[in-house]
Structure 1
């Protein structure tokens, strides 16, 4: 289950579509980190990297609810995480053991059989090629032969009537409420754990960049905040407040989830650090490829009729580098379309405040027409 607040839009445009957000600065290495769902006092045998966290403190969220954490729900959640990430779910302890055996020229181990049955449940018996690709130790022909063996062995057994298999299972309101409570508890514990990590890394006052502390950060930035001279932080905050988290739909509007009146969205310092690492990595890659393209061009020219050609990087070298690293330069029309259709895509209310007497609400078609995305004829 997922908390309602997790449905808030987290869209951010690529760096190439954010003019005015970036200033040039020095480069640094990339730092990435991952987190997992916290769990305490009851380790999951299928999840090795499970973190523990202190009990969640009281949060100032209007929809905050603190039910007791359900260990059974965490087991179910961790199983789903393992199944989704590895596309494999180990059989339960009650599953009968499978012995090694040979069928024809192919020898099947117990592990291969477990993977085969798991793949059959996910892909079905009509896709032996995909099953063999998942097994990696058996060919498509060997998988097809084993599936044929299973079908022939099942020919003498009585099939279960389709009418005996329920098409759906009804969940009672009490069960739905229990699942919601358990998911809220897990989400609250995870949020508390992440806040603790962020606070230890950036300090309790700077781990979350908000309109309230942006002036202090700009006046006396932390040396660890390498992204500060590169990004225009105020612009990022305004984009979250006015565009990406300002939908007319309540579930996608930040006012639904911030309890205090007048409170505005913030950005974690780690998120900006990730964006900074991405920009630095792409820039380094592009610069190195551009220099390589320039050297190749210069060498070819010097071998022909231009031995005295200057060693410079030209615009054409950069364009060739963009194509080489599969980063085609975004056309101006694409950038205009991205921003021009943002009101419709994010369901924003747009007001024309150019008139002095009153503000006029604009429709999405009118907004796109004013921004040059849509023509008058349609």
Structure 2
């Protein structure tokens, strides 16, 4: 389908003014038109003007709703680039790179033999899941258990620790050798954003045109939703509503879906609550919509939501019937036969089985805070500022206390959860004050523990820094002052190496940014490519030397032994007690 439609069919001949007159170009080739042709042109223009004026008032036609995607495409089509589509596909549709080239040798660990294909699957799973999710690694490998996976990981950690301790050149992988993401500048980012918006407008316009041609109704706005709701209400009053329980109904699924929902309420909720995050938020519908456009919903979304809700209701009804039958069989005796009806307890149990909440009060109470809505009091009362925003705590407290009364049977199953929600949201200031008082009471007690543990932490850090510097801890110093001076000097060298490495990585990022911007701009054919080429290059300088890892860095937290609280406190008391 060709989406490169001209905005006006009369562009080749002239323009239509607001009065309906045809304004011919001054360089018209045929200057010998007779009066009949002029009259025909004027009649054609007048008829076209009347059609344009009568279109909005005739009925809420679908073509008027589709004009918003067309208007957006006409506004952004000058920024559309075919090369950006190629870049988009290469970025998001590219497969994972295979970093394992060559054959891996088999490894024997006790009674377990690791074949090359198993090791390849293990390393691929390790790249996806990390080294801590052992069940996931075992599931991806397939042929090894969790115990065997852990044993292989421990063996790799031990080999890494031995290499760091005993080899003169451990050949560690530096941060500069790890591929990192590239941050482009604001100018290049603006060009990419405009190209992305143009591609999105092209796709939306294509989907709208294709859906309109195949279905006839695609986008449901407020006027169409009101018309559909009115038709559904009339059909319900006349008793012609479709049966939602059977799939053999003669009415099509889109018609049943539109009559099942109150679409005007859906659009009103989206416009005022779900999509309205304030004028300053980029996620608000007011910042992404065209002029005069309001939130709408497509027919495909309505049909999909209809299928989801109908399937959920069927599962809920089946679960209620099954649980009711089980209750009847368990409670039926010779002397007592209960009535064969579904009770509230059966519905509540079915909701628990399906994992569905019994009520949605807590969801609506916290909606304003989650969506960042600005709530104002529009009541015309004395002393009330209608423009001042109400705090979220006051909004949640008001919504929690204004709940409707429920029946006795419903309150029996859901009273406990509602009381907890009301107690938590009705007094937020009291909970904050109590937590502050509790933290202040224990702050003095925790200061002694922190001060007592500072010596151990500093001692462990000095030991780790000795291994990072490439040498082991030296115990032949003459006294404590000599050891402290050696530790301080090593600490300074370690900090100096870190600063050099950070500076080198910063220069690498700048160079990578220039190369990536030049590549993107030249690929897209932007004019800013020449400006980027004229800038001077970045001198990377000398790469700093790599740091040696400590044993703790190689083993990770898996080498830490768990100790109970009383064991840690007992050791601390022995360290704090004076020597005899």
* TM-score calculated relative to the size of structure 2: 0.45
Q: Are 1:66 and 2:43 an aligned pair?
A: no
Q: Are 1:323 and 2:352 an aligned pair?
A: yes
- What CA distance in whole angstroms lies between the structure 2 residues aligned with 1:187 and 1:213? 25
Matches within 5 A, 1:285-324: 285-307=315-337, 309-324=338-353
Matches within 5 A, 1:189-338: 189-192=202-205, 194-195=207-208, 198-199=211-212, 202-203=215-216, 206-218=217-229, 223=252, 224-248=254-278, 249-261=280-292, 263-307=293-337, 309-330=338-359, 335=361, 337-338=362-363
Kindly tell me: are residues 301 and 273 of structure 1, through their superposed partners in 2, closer, same or farther at Cα, counting changes over 3 Å?
same
- What CA distance in whole angstroms lies between the structure 1 residues aligned with 2:325 and 2:98? 57
For residues 105-132 of structure 1, the C-alpha deviation after alignment (integer angstroms, 9 at most, x for no partner) is 425243x333322233344456655422
Q: Are 1:160 and 2:172 an aligned pair?
A: yes
Kindly tell me: are residues 295 and 268 of structure 1, through their superposed partners in 2, closer, same or farther at Cα, counting changes over 3 Å?
same
Check the 8 A contact 1:208/1:269 in 2, yes or no. yes
- What CA distance in whole angstroms lies between the structure 2 residues aligned with 1:135 and 1:254? 46
- What CA distance in whole angstroms lies between the structure 1 residues aligned with 2:326 and 2:178? 67
Kindly tell me: are residues 129 and 302 of structure 1, through their superposed partners in 2, closer, same or farther at Cα, counting changes over 3 Å?
closer
Check the 8 A contact 1:290/1:317 in 2, yes or no. yes
- What CA distance in whole angstroms lies between the structure 2 residues aligned with 1:180 and 1:230? 39
* TM-score calculated relative to the size of structure 1: 0.65
| Structure label with greater radius of gyration | 2
Kindly tell me: are residues 107 and 185 of structure 1, through their superposed partners in 2, closer, same or farther at Cα, counting changes over 3 Å?
farther
- What CA distance in whole angstroms lies between the structure 2 residues aligned with 1:102 and 1:290? 56
Deviation of residue 328 (structure 1)? Answer: 4.3
Q: How many corresponding residue pairs?
A: 304
Deviation of residue 316 (structure 1)? Answer: 2.7
Bigger drift between 267-276 and 346-355 goes to: 346-355
Kindly tell me: are residues 62 and 190 of structure 1, through their superposed partners in 2, closer, same or farther at Cα, counting changes over 3 Å?
closer
Check the 8 A contact 2:76/2:197 in 1, yes or no. no
Return 5+ residue gaps in structure 2 as ranges: 1-68, 233-250, 402-424, 430-580
Return 5+ residue gaps in structure 1 as ranges: 1-55, 83-88
For residues 184-235 of structure 1, the C-alpha deviation after alignment (integer angstroms, 9 at most, x for no partner) is 45544543454456445642xx211101322443456784232222211111
Q: Greater relative contact order (Cα 8 A, min sep 6): structure 1 or 2?
A: 1
| Equivalent of 2:91 in 41, 51, 76 | 76
